[in-house]
Amino acid sequence: MSDRLDVANVKINQVFQTEIDDASADKLCLWMSNVLISWSILRVLARLAGKPMPAPLTLDDFNRLNDLSIKNGALAKLTDGDSKDGFVTNHEKCAEAVGLTGYKKEYVRFSKDKKGNVEVTPVLNLLSWGSIVELRDEGKHSLVATGWYKADGKFYLEVRDPWPKTNDTRFDCARGMTQRFEKGKWVDSRSIEFYGWFYRIGSSPKWVV
């Protein structure tokens, strides 16, 4: 898009959930979202402290963190190296496996303004600060927003989809819909009802630091 204007973007490696060494890899979307959000907040904290920021996570990192999450009870356990159905038993322990402590997960339902547009300002604020945000197609799938931009006179979220068969890459902020680029055009994919984020326990108002 020639008129695209990027406002904020957290650079991550594209790793699909199906690549992870887990018997239930096809069900790890929520866990991956928690891991990526936690990692991004560690980057924010390092930046504020004037320290080197953690490098983008690799497949090896996800495999290591998957085992740690099974060990610490963040993921339901089938074996020492495999989760049971990719079920997240504790969001906060997912963060702790990454190294982020003292934070709590919160889900917020997207509201709409009088014109029917989705209210995304809180998400834009989080992304501008450097915190990745989960986009939740309730009961079905979790993706992450890593940034936001303006194109064609509209605002979009940059999306990374852990599920390779859909691989959605943007979120229409006005309609609350993820999209993927197919055969030269954008195609609607998932309606998003909630966004998820981690805030520091004790912060007032709730925030990431």
Let me know if residue 183 belongs to a domain.
yes
Q: Tens of pLDDT along 65-79?
A: 999 999 999 999 999
At 98, the pLDDT band (50, 70, 90 cuts) reads very high
Let me know if residue 208 belongs to a domain.
no
Let me know if residue 180 belongs to a domain.
yes
Does 127 score more than 50 pLDDT?
yes
Instruction: Kindly report whether the peptide bond that precedes residue 164 is cis, defined as omega within 30 degrees of 0.
Output: no
Half-sphere exposure for 15 (CA within 13 Å, toward CB): 23
Let me know if residue 205 belongs to a domain.
no
Does 204 score more than 70 pLDDT?
yes
Residue range(s) defining the domain that contains residue 141: 5-200
Question: What's the number of domains the chain is made of?
Answer: 1
Measured CA angle at 28 (ends 187, 209), to 5 deg: 90
Does 1 score more than 50 pLDDT?
no
Does 117 score more than 90 pLDDT?
no
Let me know if residue 99 belongs to a domain.
yes
The rounded distance, in Å, linking the Cα atoms of 74 and 92 is: 8
The rounded distance, in Å, linking the Cα atoms of 96 and 200 is: 13
Q: What's the CATH code of the domain at 189?
A: 3.90.70
At 2, the pLDDT band (50, 70, 90 cuts) reads low
Q: How many residues does the chain have?
A: 209
CB 75 within 8 A of CB 66: yes
CB 171 within 8 A of CB 155: no
Three-class DSSP category at 91: helix
- Residue 195: Cβ within 10 Å count: 24
- How does the average pLDDT of the chain come out, rounded? 96
At 128, the pLDDT band (50, 70, 90 cuts) reads very high
Contacts of 109 (CB under 8 A, 6+ apart): 193, 194
DSSP state of 89: S
Q: What pLDDT score does 195 carry?
A: 98
